Each structure stands twice: as structure tokens, then as C-alpha cells.
Amino acid sequence: MTETSSFRAPKGVPDYLPPTSAEFVAVRDGLIHTARLAGYGHIELPIFEDTALFTRGVGESTDVVSKEMWTFADRNGESFTLRPEGTAGVMRAVIQHGLDRGALPVKLAYAGPFFRYERPQKGRYRQLQQVGVEAIGVDDPALDAEVIAIADTGFRSLGLDGFRLELTSLGDETCRPQYRELLQEFLFKLPLDEETRRRAEINPLRVLDDKRPEVKEMTAGAPLMIDHLSESAKAHFDLVLGYLDALGVPYVVNPRMVRGLDYYTKTTFEFVHDGLGAQSGIGGGGRYDGLMAELGGQALSGIGFGIGVDRTVLALAAEGKSATDGSRIDVFGVPLGDIAKQHLVALAGQLRAAGIRTDLAYGGRGMKSAMKAADKSGARFALVLGDREVTDGEIGLKDLSTGEQRQIPLNEAVAQLTAALTGKQP
């Protein structure tokens, strides 16, 4: 490091700073709120877990496991991994604490950072933030629709509307093995390169996700899972669509959709936003009916989603919208003199106690610079107090949106500001 250089955050790891961090918090909290409305309780998971949890849970052939995990050995030589996603950890906690022995479904929601060693670009980070929900233990298509509707409503509650929901069914254990063979039979007849051929052997579905035009062309006529569903998987999917119609959630069926994680069965979905360029997936999820048994628990079903908070913030910006009113403060106090400062410091405490966001001009600034700071703060009102006014029991209240200023009784400041800001009469 040279003398002039300084520390920087690791590559692809964002900092969240004011004023845009307010947007991040509003998006995250708005999405969690929507999940709470459907009875999802909070789960806070470890940031790192046993590496095997992810290799077994997410699947060895996935990019997430084979290329993107942040894995390290602890001082004992045991292998741990920074969580690349939330579903495996939720399932581990549900099994470990026996939540699956209580009332079903177990409904859980979480928010926080996840880690994937991806090539950083706009909307793709090595530390990414998700809000997720998981509903475990009941295989009911109405629950699939509920989970999907929570994501849809969550996005809309933020003002977002330039996205679409794509969904499909990946079948179940009664039809997926046969379909897999059928697809492999088709793929093995194609002049695929060595690596793609190997992929076709391990996870043939993933070949349908190949972005290269020549492969896309070759696989255009590939058999699709949706045309080979078992009767029960088809019935399940049709019911999901019916419940989504009832909920008023618009969707498009995309039978070629391929998700990046191996645990999915039956209903699988993705929310796609067109204003984001290459990283257009703002959320995704699906059913994972084999995961609990795979991780050593009972054979219970599950469904959930993960929404990318970072990408949702970008999507809002792309639509020219905001989840906040852009202000960090309601009232900005300007003390002009030492006695005035004493009173204004105390008044700021009272205003905050009344739930009014309040800041002060610190550092003994002059009137002009303090008023500039008041304007810059985004506050709706400034309170201007001089030593003389303290004696008179008055304070100047300036509406920063209109520029209008009037004197009000000092001891009425809290009540009058509460009324002005909330519309509630004192």
C-alpha cells in the first residue's frame, strides 16, 4: 500500500450510506412488513454454517456451490461457508430446534446479507442483501400462491410495477426422473462440447439455461418438463395458477425457466424487472419438497422466496420512484447565542421524545451558514432562536418549503410542530 492509498471495502461489497441507505432500509422493511401481514415470524440465522449444509442443500452441480462460495477453515480445521442463500440455513434451524414438530406450516421470514463470489457488476455483488420467507410442512397449492403473492404485494407496496412474474413447474419425484431421461436422450444426440455434455449428465436442465446462441438454437426443440408433468404435479400447478388469479396476481408461464439452485420441485418462479439490464432477477423462489429429508429431517415439503433488496432499490430508481420521502429530518434548530442554544438543545430532546426527527446546527455557526444547513437537511421546518427571544418566551418557526416565518410561543413549539407535521391537533 502506498502512503496516499487508503482502505477500501472488499471488491463487490457495497457500503450503504445516507441518503440512499434510507431507501435500502425502506425497501427491506416494506418487504418484511408484507410477510408479517401473512403471519411469518422472524428468524435470524448465522452468517456462516457448516460447508456441507450448502453443498448438500443447494447442490454440488450449481454455480453457487461449485464456484461462488466463500469457504474457510476455522482454527480446528473445520470447514465453514459464509451463507450464499437462506433456505438451507432455515431448514437446518427448523430441524435442529424441532419446529417441524409443532403447528404446520412453519412460517418464517428473514433479512440480511448473503455472500457469493460472483463477478461484480451493477446489481451483482459479492455481499448481497435479501429478504426471504419460507413456509414449511404443508404441501398446499394455496400456500404457493400465498408466498408468491407476498412478493408481488411487497414490490407493489413500494410503488414498483415494471416487473413481471414468471413461473413454471419442475415436476415431482414421480415425473422428474423420467423427464430427466427424456431430456438427456435429446441432449446426447446434439453435437455438444465436452463441458456442456458433462453438464447434461449431471444436471441436464441447466443446459436449457445456456445463454450461447448456438446452444439455444440446438435446444429450442427440447422436451419441456411442463409437458411431462405427472397428474398430481399438473393438478398442483393448475391450482396454483387458479389461486393466483383469485389473488389478482398477474403472471406468465415460462416453461424454460431454470433456477440456479438444485433443491426446487414443482412450483418455481422468478420476478423479472426490465429496467435493470443483465441482472434483471429481483426475486425468485419455489417449492423444495425434498430438502428437509436431504438434510436429515422428516420428509416435509416447503416453499419460499428470496428477494434481492439491492436490485429492488435499483429497480425503483429505474422507475424514477422512491420508497421514502427523501428527508432525514423534520425540524432543524438554529441557535443564535449561548442561552438560546441551551434552550434549543432541550427542545430538540422534547421534539425527539414526541417522535419528531430533529437536528441542530452545531459548532456555533452564524445565522447564514446555519440556515443553509437547515435547507440542506431536507427538514420541513426550521426553529430559529436568539437569546432575546428566550427572554420574550418566543421562537421563530420557519416553513422551509414556503419560506414563511412567524413567531410562536416557545412553550407551544412541541404541540404546534406535532400538529403541523402529523395533522393531529394539539
Instruction: Give the footprint of ligand HAM on this chain (CB under 6 A).
Output: 85-87, 116, 118, 123-125, 128, 130, 132, 134, 260-261, 281-286, 304-306, 308, 310-311
- Least separation in angstroms between CB 216 and ligand HAM: 21
Taking the least distance from each CB to ligand HAM, the nearer of 34 and 130 is 130
Taking the least distance from each CB to ligand HAM, the nearer of 290 and 308 is 308
- Least separation in angstroms between CB 113 and ligand HAM: 10
Residue nearest to ligand HAM according to CB distances in the complex? 308
Taking the least distance from each CB to ligand HAM, the nearer of 40 and 125 is 125
- Least separation in angstroms between CB 105 and ligand HAM: 13
Strand order in the sheet with 48-50: 48-50, 79-82, 70-73
Taking the least distance from each CB to ligand HAM, the nearer of 289 and 330 is 289
Helix locations, 101-228, DSSP H = 141-157, 176-188, 194-202, 213-218
**Share in percent of the chain as helix, strand, coil (round to 5):** 40, 20, 35
282 alpha-carbon distance from chain centroid: 8
- Least separation in angstroms between CB 213 and ligand HAM: 24
- Least separation in angstroms between CB 382 and ligand HAM: 40
DSSP of 277-333: TT--EEEEEEE-TTHHHHTTS-S--EEEEEEEHHHHHHHHHHTT--SS-S-S-SEEE
Taking the least distance from each CB to ligand HAM, the nearer of 8 and 119 is 119
Helix locations, 158-258, DSSP H = 176-188, 194-202, 213-218, 231-247
Q: What are phi and psi of 398, to 5 degrees?
A: -110, 125
Q: What are phi and psi of 7, to 5 degrees?
A: -70, 145
72 alpha-carbon distance from chain centroid: 26
Taking the least distance from each CB to ligand HAM, the nearer of 276 and 383 is 276
- Least separation in angstroms between CB 85 and ligand HAM: 3
